[in-house]
Amino acid sequence: MIFVILPKGLIFSLLFSLPLISLVAQESRAIELDMEIEAHEKKGETEAAEEKRNLSRDIRRRNFARDKKAIIEVGDPRQKLPPPFYAGNKSFWGGFWELGFRANVPAAFFKSGMDWSLDNGRVAFQNGSPYLPRSVVPYQNESVLPFIEEKGRIAPKETVLPTIQLNFVSENKKWGFEYSNLPVHGSYEHSAYGFGRQFARYSTRFEMYDHKFMFKVHEALEHDRWFTWDFGLRVGGWQTNSSFLSPTLNQAGDLSETAKFVAPSAGFRIYQTAIKNSRIEFGSDMFYTTLGSFQYERRNMRDGLIDLSGNYISGNQFYKVESAKPLEMKITGIDLNLIYSFILMDYHRLSFGARSTSYTWNANESKLPNFLAFSNEALALGIQNWYTTSAFYEADGDGLRASRYFTVTNFFIGYSYVF
């Protein structure tokens, strides 16, 4: 008797290959039956063809059919999606929709650029008179006195400001879009002082709107973490109205400014699942445009004045300085978002979030404005006022004005109905 000792690996290979050899043999038999079925059908022998078709079907059923106990019920595939793409039970117009509103608590914080009278000694005095600093909110140098007390924060008097929120995700979960907007408005008062007992009282109102439409391209990082590339368009603008009264200088005046812009933007958003049916969103986008416009109008009235020769002229003197055409405006900004949201009862999303948007902008003041005056003396004062409020005055004749910038922060609570 001869014993053959086989290697352990060969034994395992034979054991695992036996079922495969049997499967290949049975499938070969089923293929032969298929060929015979085709031959019988060509001859019109339907009974023989049907008999062999049943044999072939039985072979494949034994080899490839699953036991019902082995089938795992996965339910609705939509329910297995991570919360960033969780939507209701209805898909229409190509995808899933969410429509809702937000209760916003916004605030705007302003800076006037460089305080030139302190940072640059050359402009501490211009045209033989003390430099009059820029107001914090208005773009033009509005102050008639050198020392001002002006806060740089504006917030609505209302508790909250409502806005609309719209989200869409396509059925294949590859793209979507989002619309949001944020208004800001408020008013404040401040004082300005001069040498001796000179003073003036100012009242300023600021209104702003910013609409953002983003096209979102979705990519999956992991099962519970998603990423979107955001490309969009921002349409916004603001308006400033300010007035002042100085009994000690016998002056009164007002200022009106309007800015508008359309800017393309690009950014990203990261979605991280938290507890069941909830998510955390974090993202940022930047925008830039030279397609902005800026217009201003400034009026001033005095009860008597001293002309350039030092002579006193009695009576009311009025002049107006306004931009002849909208000035070109350049604006750059960055947007930061942080949102936590969760879904209740499949159809209701609640969200809590914060948003911060920074704007940096300036206007091209190379164009001469229009002047309107009731007398030659008032016209001379209007021209002098334009010079002392222009970029040429502020930059010591170089025509370069420091950019203005402000930041809008917003905290909100939102509700959306998930279709």
Say which range, 56-70, 138-152, 309-323, has the weakest mean pLDDT: 56-70
The pLDDT-based confidence of 112 (bands split at 50, 70, 90) is low
Q: At what angle do helices 8-43 and 46-64 cross, to 10 degrees?
A: 160
Rounded CA-CA distance 149/152 in Å is 10
Most confident of 5-9, 66-70, 371-375: 371-375
Q: State which CATH number among 3.30.56.10, 2.40.128.100, 3.40.50.300, 3.40.50.620 fits the domain covering 79-418.
A: 2.40.128.100
Amino acid at 415: Y
Listed by start position, the domains of the chain span 8-70, 79-418
Task: Select the highest-mean-pLDDT range: 77-91, 310-324, 367-381.
Answer: 367-381
| Percent residues over pLDDT 90 in the chain | 20
Per-residue pLDDT of 173-216, as tens digits, reads 788 899 999 889 888 888 888 777 888 888 889 999 999 999 99
pTM: 0.71
299 residue type, one letter? R
| Position 197, amino acid | R
155-175: average pLDDT = 83
In the predicted model, what is the mean pLDDT of residues 248-264? Answer: 89
